Amino acid sequence: MIKVLYIIGLTFIFLQAFSQQPLVDTVYKLPDFKVIGSRIDNYSAGQKIRRIDSLELIQDQSSNLGELITRNTSVHINTYSYNGLSQISFRGTSTSQTGIYWNGFALNQPNHGQIDLALIPSGYFNDVEILYGGGSSLFGSGNIGGSILLNSQPNFKKHLIGDIETHLASFAEKGLNGGLSYSNSKWYFKTKFLGKSARNNFPYKSLAGEEEKLKNADLEQFGFIQDIYFSAGKNWVLGGSVWYQQNDKKLPATLTTKASDASQFDWSVRSFVSAKKYLKNGSLSLKTALLNDFSHYVDPDPVPELNIDSEIKTLKLITEIQFEYKLHDNILVTSGMNYSNEQGESIYYPGRVEQIQVGAFLLWSLNFPSIQWKFNANLRQDLIWDFTVPFTPAFGFEGKIFPFLAAKFNVSRNFRAPSFNDRYWVPGGNTDLQPEDSWNEELSLLLDFEWPLLKNKTGITFSVFNSNVDNWILWVPDGLLWSAQNVQQVWSRGIESDINLSFQIKKIVLKLNGGLSLVKSTNEIQASGNDQSFLKQLIYVPEHKYFATALIRWESFMFSYNQSYTGQRFITKDNKEALPAYALDNIWLSKVFEMKQNKVEFAISLNNIWDIEYQAVQYNPMPGRHFRISIKLLLNKF
pTM, 2 dp: 0.90
25 belongs to a structural domain = no
Q: What is the mean pLDDT of the chain?
A: 89
Over the Cα atoms of the chain, what is R_g? 25
Least confident of 131-135, 276-280, 516-520: 276-280
Alpha-carbon span 449 to 624, nearest angstrom: 40
Please give the pLDDT value at position 631: 95
26 belongs to a structural domain = no
Cα first-last separation, the chain: 59
User: Contact at 8 Å (CB) between 572 and 539?
Assistant: yes
Average pLDDT in the 621-626 region? 95
Alpha-carbon span 203 to 3, nearest angstrom: 58
> Which residues are CB-contacts of 94 (< 8 A; sequence separation ≥ 6)?
145, 472
Average pLDDT in the 256-269 region? 94
613 belongs to a structural domain = yes
Least confident of 315-319, 370-374, 408-412: 370-374
590 belongs to a structural domain = yes
Please give the pLDDT value at position 145: 94
pLDDT higher than 70, residue 453: no
pLDDT higher than 70, residue 594: yes
367 belongs to a structural domain = yes
Higher pLDDT, 528 or 183: 183
Q: How many independent structural domains does the chain possess?
A: 1
139 belongs to a structural domain = yes
Sign of CA dihedral 476, 481, 485, 487: negative
Query: Which of 199, 241, 219 has its CA nearest to residue 118?
Result: 219
Strand 436-451, strand 405-416: pairing: antiparallel
Least confident of 8-17, 327-336, 387-396, 534-543: 8-17
Please give the pLDDT value at position 14: 34
| Cα–Cα–Cα angle for 38, 41, 46, rounded to 5 degrees | 125
Alpha-carbon span 538 to 305, nearest angstrom: 35
* DSSP one-letter string for 15-63: HHHHHPPP-TT---PPPPP-TT--THHHH-TTS-EEEE-HHHHHHTTTS
Residue span of the structural domain in which 339 resides: 2-19+31-636
Alpha-carbon span 135 to 97, nearest angstrom: 10
Alpha-carbon span 588 to 601, nearest angstrom: 13
> Which residues are CB-contacts of 597 (< 8 A; sequence separation ≥ 6)?
635, 636, 637
Give the distance from CA 240 to its chain's centroid: 21
Please give the pLDDT value at position 454: 56
Query: What pairs with residue 410 in β-bridges?
Result: 396, 442
Query: Which H helix or E strand runs over 309?
Result: strand 308-328
196 belongs to a structural domain = yes
Neighbours of 63 (CB within 10 A): 20
Average pLDDT in the 314-325 region? 96
**pLDDT, tens only, 555-565:** 999 999 999 99
Higher pLDDT, 599 or 233: 599
> Which residues are CB-contacts of 206 (< 8 A; sequence separation ≥ 6)?
212, 255
Average pLDDT in the 217-223 region? 95
Please give the pLDDT value at position 34: 35
Higher pLDDT, 452 or 281: 281
Neighbours of 37 (CB within 10 A): 18
CATH number at residue 377: 2.40.170.20
Query: Which of 591, 589, 580, 560 has its CA nearest to residue 622?
Result: 580
Looking at residue 365, its amino acid is: S
**pLDDT, tens only, 492-543:** 999 999 999 988 888 899 999 999 999 999 999 987 778 889 999 999 999 9
* DSSP one-letter string for 77-103: EEE-STTS-EEEESTT--GGGEEEEET
131 belongs to a structural domain = yes
**pLDDT, tens only, 569-587:** 999 999 999 999 999 999 9
Task: Name the 3-class secondary structure at 2.
Answer: helix
Report DSSP state, residue 117: G
* DSSP one-letter string for 333-384: EEEEEEEEEEEEEETTSSS-EEEEEEEEEEEEEEEETTTTEEEEEEEEEEEE
